[in-house]
Amino acid sequence: MLSARPPLSKSETSPGLQFHICISTDEKNGRMKRTQETRFRSRRQTAQPIRAVISSGDQSVGVPTTFSASGESRTSMSDINIKAVITIRKKMKEKLNDKIEESWESFLNGIGQGIMIQLVSKEVDTVTKVGAKSAETAVRGWFSTSPNHHYIIEYAANLTVASTFGQPGSIIITNLHPKEFYLMEIVLHGFTEGPVFFPANSWIHSRNDNPYGRVIFCNQSYLPSQTPSGLKELRAAELVRLRGNGRGERKKFDRIYDYACYNDLGNPDKDEDLARPVLGGEERPYPRRCRTGRPPCSSDPFSESRIEKPHPVYVPRDETFEETKQATFSAGALKALLHNLVPSLVAALSSSDNPFQCFTEIDQLYKDGVALKLEESKSIFSNMLLPAMMKKVENASESMLKFETPAIISRDRFAWLRDNEFARQTLAGVNPVNIERLQDFPIRSKLDPAVFGSPESALTKKCIEQELNGMSVEEAIQKGRLYILDYHDLLLPFIKKMNALKGTKAYASRTIFFLSQNSDTLRPIAIELSLSPTPSSPESKHLYTHGHDATSYWTWKLAKAHVCSNDAGVHQLVNHWLRTHACMEPYIIATHRQLSCMHPIYKLLHPHMRYTMEINSLARQSLINGGGVIESCFSPGKYSLEVSSAAYKSNWRFDMEALPADLIRRGMAVEDPSKPGGVRLLIEDYPYAADGLLIWEAIKDWVEFYVNRFYEEPNSVASDYELQAWWDEIKNKGHPDKRNESWWPKLKTKDDLSGILTIMIWTASGQHAAINFGQYPFGGYVPNRPALMRKLITQEGEPDYAKFLLNPQQTFLSSIPTQLQATKVMAVQDTLSTHSPDEEYLGDLHHTHARWIDDQEIQKAFKRFSSRLEEIEEIINERNRNARLKNRSGAGVPPYELLLPSSGPGVTGRGIPNSISI
């Protein structure tokens, strides 16, 4: 329990008094101790702590007391004496200058020259015709910190309001300091109804930057039509400020949410080879990002000038990582990784960037590590907190970056070689969202045949039926036994350009799988690899089957590696970046611009929006930018985001981001109201879908209860003008290139709203978890999931064919990423797969958000939601112990845990955070 002393009286804070503040270091616990003159200390020790007043239920406030100008007390039965407790979070890690500044700010707060607050009533003042306001009052007093959280301090203020003031609905807080501070909450005591809570968890900027003062609303939710009269003007004004005027470059302290195209990925002013096309518009449609307002490049007026590392890209101030997050893996380590470790790897390996010579060299990454020069690495390792999967080992002259053994080979180091594991990962791997049931045959491309050649696939009836044990293709399709992983139409338009890049060779791929009738396991039976047609080679389609001879065995292995490379690229650029990170950002921007923080839907969505804009800005700066890690390590190279745009244009639909709808679209399920999510899986042992539907159903039920609680009238959704503006803006400003599509859900009923919100929360939580936190467990072993391929498969009669026959292993190793490419991807995937120690998981409520809403029924419903997720965790654990489910159990098979709701810190391969925070 935090404690706070009452404010000093006027006599104690007289300007004529001389204060002596001594700061000393407590050697026992490292905390800063503030000591003052004995007379001041003894006066405070006789006062009753504010928390004692709180625990008495506010009944001990007694007769209201006010002070005259001379400091003498007087009472008035027509006034109410209010005590406000203001909770502020200091820096957790302070330098000496910070400590001095903190002490000075504390002193200013103590004498009433640091923070001012003013109460605003829910009732309208009959004179001003706006919400009645108290007098502006200074926050005063020095108080002890929490014994458990030394960086949390409390201050207090005494206010007096008339008995006719009514209930307070908001507080205007003004920061007189020259710099910002972090406000956690304000609690008012003295009203007969009990304490009134004003959760903030927000940065309060200096009056120099925010002359209007900051409005903090109480934790009671109101639909726009229910807004108390005294708060209507403040509610509308706050939204106007958050929208900004669409002009000028945004400053660090701004809290302005606006839209822009992705026109800041390239840097043509630095190098013309780093120029990148604008994403967003008719030619290259894309979701919108947060506007920063930076000036255009001098060499390209359509591209925004870049802010290069280590300077941060603007996001609204409250979207940045809090210090607790900055100090953990998913924030601090990511920045250090991108800004320090990756350049160090490049410096250490680029001069001798060789392919792996044998599989033992890959194993040595986990046993011995990568050697970095000790002088270069000292600052890196001292300034970053490495995830659990990366370990530092030092000797006299060098520092070794040692990787943990990935889960995929931790139980069976040869698992990646097997066909059944290759197939299993399409259902239970890091990218289990592209497998489809084959429903039409023959397989035909939808691309223009005049440009891309014959639409007919090389996967003929004859080649497929050779693997069907006497079953015809028609019969296998009818019985739901054939499945396909099809990246042909998405990638073929880029293949020629990709293969012109240095060190990259790729195909557009299709892979056919056959479903075992008894075990629900898939077996790959044929792979088609296609190149762009040329005048000399109009049909560049190669067909591969696993075969039974040595040569076929190795060409089949190379064909699977090319499929895995395509799968890795589509996973990272489309399913991970586009469908979760990029598509969530417009929802977040619109929520802040159109829904007041008093709106119940804002309160519901808020935990699922935290940190996403910050992690996206980091990605634009160092991951998906021109020349960034993604371009240098994944096969689409400089065309990576164009591939992502093509997928958005052809395949993305908001309504199909619902898990049940997506499963039906891919032919993996059929409607069945009796099953979770209202669908029945055609492959029962489909771990991602089976577990995901449990999570989806839990989210859906929680959201439906929440929506029904606040929207009681039949037309209340349609008449909510904030909500309608929110949905309209998501379509027309957040996804404007798709605004005219007929598939956008309507927003007229409670069911419409529940469906929309469930998609958003699922996307931010379960969907992102399923395709993010398995990146290192599956991709940390490069042969299992190469991010790119450097050679095409040599054909009989070609110059390298003889070398392939003599040493097929060397051909394979020289085709997958080099040592530098592999370690860069491993380091990034390791960090992106890491949970921070302060992660906020689905169904959990962080202690700083405990008073997010005052509705008791909603709080009870949230507890039921949390309990249900605990039950789901037990169900998933039981499934992983079921020997009948071969896709999640068996010799050497890692259990499917990516949708287990909870997790500890580190790379665990499990856990569903509330939001996309890494």
Active-site residue numbers?
A: 576, 581, 768, 772, 918
Q: Which residues pair with 527 in a beta bridge?
A: 511, 544
Cα torsion at 616, 618, 624, 629 (round to 10°)? Answer: -140
Coil, helix or strand for 140? Answer: strand
Distance CA 775, CA 782 (A): 11
Residue 860 gets which letter from DSSP?
H
**Does residue 482 come out as left (phi exceeding 0), alpha (psi in the -120 to 50 range) or beta?**
beta
Which has the closest alpha carbon to 817: 829, 835, 800, 831? 829
Which has the closest alpha carbon to 359: 751, 783, 680, 674? 783
Q: Which residue has the tokens 């890692």?
A: 894
Q: Which residue has the tokens 């229910």?
A: 226
Phi, psi (deg, nearest 5) at residue 509? -120, 150
Distance CA 287, CA 580 (A): 11
Close Cβ partners of 55 (under 8 Å, ≥ 6 residues apart) = none
Residue 274 gets which letter from DSSP?
G
Distance CA 515, CA 469 (A): 12
Cα torsion at 773, 774, 775, 777 (round to 10°)? Answer: 130
Close Cβ partners of 531 (under 8 Å, ≥ 6 residues apart) = 495, 496, 499, 507, 508, 537, 540, 541, 792
List, as one string, the DSSP characters of 636-666: TGGGHHHHHHHHHHHH--SGGGSHHHHHHHT
Phi, psi (deg, nearest 5) at residue 482? -110, 135
SS (HEC) of 528-576: EEECCCCCCCCCCEEEECCCCCHHHHHHHHHHHHHHHHHHHHHHHHHHH
Indicate the residue type of 590. Answer: A
Close Cβ partners of 66 (under 8 Å, ≥ 6 residues apart) = 73, 74, 75, 76, 79, 81, 160
List, as one string, the DSSP characters of 701-742: HHHHHHHHHH--STTTTTT-HHHHHHHHHIIIIISGGGTT-T
Coil, helix or strand for 444? Answer: strand
Beta strands in 104-249, from DSSP E residues, in sequence order: 115-124, 131-133, 137-138, 152-162, 168-175, 181-189, 196-204, 214-217
Q: Are the C-beta atoms of 83 and 50 separated by less than 8 Å?
A: yes
Which has the closest alpha carbon to 508: 485, 525, 538? 485
Indicate the residue type of 304. Answer: E
Close Cβ partners of 503 (under 8 Å, ≥ 6 residues apart) = 788, 790, 818
Which has the closest alpha carbon to 144: 5, 282, 23? 5
How many residues are recorded in the chain?
A: 918
**Does residue 174 come out as left (phi exceeding 0), alpha (psi in the -120 to 50 range) or beta?**
beta
Q: Are the C-beta atoms of 776 and 559 separated by less than 8 Å?
A: no
Tokens representing residue 56 in the block: 């008495």
List, as one string, the DSSP characters of 470-487: T--HHHHHHTT-EEEEE-
Which has the closest alpha carbon to 602: 239, 911, 229, 89? 239
